[in-house]
Every structure is written in C-alpha cells, then in structure tokens.
Structure 1
Amino acid sequence: MTGLEDRCRLVLIVPEGDDAAEIARQLEEALSGGDVASVILPQYGLDDQAFQKRAETLVPIVQAAGAAALIAGDSRVAGRVKADGLHLAGTLTELEEAIGKFVPKLIVGAGGAADRHQALEIGELRPDYIFFGKLDGDIKPEAHPKNLALGEWWASMVEIPCIVMGGSDPVSALAVAETGAEFAALRAAVFSNPKGAAAAVAEVNAILDEKAPRFEA
C-alpha cells in the first residue's frame, strides 16, 4: 500500500505450508523479484501461537523489502508483531470496531464481499481497501469472472482502492489490471511457479509495465 504507482500493483498472499523456513525463503525470493505493494499473511490452520511465531519471522522480511505486511484476521497478532495492517473478512461489526480502533495507525482492509450489496455496506465503513475474492481462491489459471466484474464495477465508481484475487497463472494479473483495480493479488502464481518466485514477480511486473492501463493523476 506504499508509494502508489500509476498502474495496478502486485499484492502477495503467503502460501500455506508446514515448513516455516522454506516459506520465509520463498517470500524473500519473491520480494527480490520486483515491485510488491503489500503481503497478506493468512492464518490457515495454524493455532494462534504458531501463527504469531510465523508472523514474527515473515513480517520483518516484508518490511525490509519496502512492502506493507498485513495480518489476516487477528488484530492481537498484528499488534504484537508490529505489522503494518490488518486484513479482515468477518462481520461488519468487527470491521467497524477495527477501523475505529486502529486507523490510521494500521491499514485496515476488508474482504468477504460476495456481491455489490455487501461491498457497498463495507464501503460505507471506509476501510483502507476492499478485497474481492478469497485469499485461497486461486484454484484456476485465470481470476474468477465474478471477482473481475466486482472489481471493475467498484473501481469505476468508488474511491476506496480494491484488490482483486488473481488466478494460478501470473498472466491473470493483467486481467485484474484491466478492470481498473489498484492491486492484483497472487499466491500460487508466484509461490508454486516452476520458474521460481523471483522470476514470477519479475514477469508480472514486466507484463503490468507493458500492458496495464495507467491511472489518471
């Protein structure tokens, strides 16, 4: 969420996995590949203690690369590990409380909008961004058409930035950019990429540099 470019930027979602050292290595590699705006750390199946321990390792790696580290779901962990923000996909009440409590000290973003009505309800609370899709929703090579449609509708009429979940193919980031969304989120497209995470980030940035529409200043 730092240093706005004039085009859609990349958001990384940390993959699931038991090997914390390997995930840290992959993340470091990915961030060395080029521009990344922020990194979202989901809890997956980890208990709170294990999640905090993992976040303590990963957050400094993200911040050292100049990206914002966002913790999904747990504000206590976000505070303890000195993350830059919080990604929430719970109830409107939880979101409203978090925005009241943490903004502007922390970035507070919102997921969980399955349709336009829910998105507008979330938008009324003025989160720092809205996220269309699921953090582990990259099950096909391309981004989900519904998320692309929501991103395009939102970007055309609401000033709050949006992140749209891409697919498992790095090229899916371009379809996200073409909606007018400010950020494209990738997970498997980077971390399960046969060319390696750094090459994947470099490829996505090259595609966006060349083909993504430019925002008007």
Structure 2
Amino acid sequence: MTDMDNRCRLVLVLPELDDSDRQAERLEAALSGGDVASVILTQGALDDATFQKQAERLVPIVQQAGAAAIIAGDSRVAGRVKADGLHVAQGAEMIAEAVEKFTPKLIVGAGGASDRHQALEIGEARPDYMFFGKLDGDIKPEAHPKNLALGEWWASMIEIPCIVLAGTDPASALAVAETGAEFVALRQAVFAAEAPGAVVAAVNALLDEKAPRFED
C-alpha cells in the first residue's frame, strides 16, 4: 500500500463548459498538480452530441495523467469515448441495471442517496463506489454536514468505497478525510481557481500531512 492509497484521495468533478479549448486547458492544469484518482465528466446542459465530442477530447487527457475517466449519466457516451467508468444517480433500480450490464468492463459508481435507507438500498447492487452529495452541490465553502455524516457512517459500516463532495474551499477536503471516506470530490474549489494545478497540489499536501491513515 502506497502513501497515496493509505489516505483519502482526490476525485475531480469537471463542470460542463461550452468552450472545449478552455475546458481541456483547465483540466490539464488541474491534473498537473499531482495525485488525482479519477475525474467525473458531467454533461449539464450540453446536448448529447456536444458532450460526446468534448468527452472524446477530455477522456484521453484524464487517462494520460493516470486517473480514471468517469462519465456521468450516459452509458452510450462512456462506451464510445472508451471511458473507464460510468456514474449513475438515477435511483437504485437503474444503478443495479448498470452494475449488471457494465461490470467489470467499466467502473460503475452510484450517487443520489439522500439518506441511510436509500444508500443501503443502492448498496445492495454492489456499485464500485458510493458518492455522497450532488455533483454540482458545492455551493458553500464547507462540505454539506449531511454528506459528511453519511460518509462517516458509510465508511465505518460498509466495505464499498465512498466519495464525499467537499465545498468550494479547498481546505474543506480535510473535513471529508476525517470522516474516514476513501475519496474527496472537489469541483469549484479546483476549477474556479486561477491556478487549478496549485489547488490540487495544495490539497494533496494537506491530505499528506493531516488526513487519517487507513489500516493496511
């Protein structure tokens, strides 16, 4: 187990952006900052064709940096662009169908759980990870208390790894790490910054210094 594997790692959620050149530039800058486990690409208001075209450009950038490229929501796009994974947040039934259809060819991650009951129901499908928080839910500097609580409960009870969305302040990643969650997700904290790579480097340094260590 490496030092990175021994503590909470960083996941990036890339916001949708009409300017694909700017999108690629920001992504490359962020990934230059150090360890990133995976990047979740979101479609937002983009139409299917535009999203697929962007993903075709962005997925190789993610993979060349050694991270897993995960497409949110659209399994067809995930397959066409040769992504590593699919993020599904449309309820337990659809998550179960995606796990059955695409595992182990793709990483299949789950979101959309707003309470413990929903989380356990989704967990019965055995997704590769559970994501607590909405992909675009980082609207305050700190992580949402409910997401922190769900992450702490899940990490203490369930073997399936979890990702918890932090806030717009990069330092909020530490609060997520302190729950015992395996991964912390950052969106605006990285991509709204002037220097995304510097933020990624700073968060990794913070987690190296202060994040709890997992048992071997």
Give the alignment's TM-score, normalised by structure 2: 0.97
Please tell me the residue identity of whatever aligns with 1:207.
Answer: L
1:181 corresponds to which residue?
Answer: 181
Cα distance in 2 between the residues matched to 1:162 and 1:72 = 16
Unaligned ranges ≥5, structure 2: none
1:149 corresponds to which residue?
Answer: 149
- How much identity, in percent, do the aligned residues show? 75
1:124 corresponds to which residue?
Answer: 124
Report deviation, 1:18. 1.5
Give the alignment's TM-score, normalised by structure 1: 0.97
Please tell me the residue identity of whatever aligns with 1:39.
Answer: V
Please tell me the residue identity of whatever aligns with 2:103.
Answer: V
Please tell me the residue identity of whatever aligns with 2:76.
Answer: R
Report deviation, 1:16. 2.7
Please, which moves more after superposition, 96-105 or 176-185? 96-105
Cα distance in 2 between the residues matched to 1:4 and 1:101 = 31
Q: Deviations over 1:38-71 (max 9, x none)?
A: 0000110011111100100100000000000000
1:99 corresponds to which residue?
Answer: 99
Report deviation, 1:97. 1.1
Report deviation, 1:96. 1.1
Q: Deviations over 1:116-169 (max 9, x none)?
A: 000000111100000000000110000000000000000001000000000001
> Cα RMSD between the aligned structures?
1.0
Cα distance in 1 between the residues matched to 2:210 and 2:112 = 29
Please tell me the residue identity of whatever aligns with 1:201.
Answer: V
Report deviation, 1:93. 1.7
Unaligned ranges ≥5, structure 1: none
Report deviation, 1:91. 2.2
Report deviation, 1:94. 1.2
2:168 corresponds to which residue?
Answer: 168
Contact 2:41 2:69 (C-alpha < 8 Å) held by counterparts: yes
Cα distance in 1 between the residues matched to 2:68 and 2:17 = 21
1:216 corresponds to which residue?
Answer: 215
Cα distance in 2 between the residues matched to 1:17 and 1:58 = 12
Moved over 4 A (4+): none
- Secondary structure of the equivalent of 2:163? strand
Please tell me the residue identity of whatever aligns with 1:26.
Answer: R
1:25 corresponds to which residue?
Answer: 25
Report the count of equivalent residues.
214
Cα distance in 2 between the residues matched to 1:16 and 1:126 = 28
Cα distance in 1 between the residues matched to 2:81 and 2:171 = 33
- Secondary structure of the equivalent of 1:21? helix
Contact 2:155 2:181 (C-alpha < 8 Å) held by counterparts: yes
1:191 has 2:191 as partner? yes
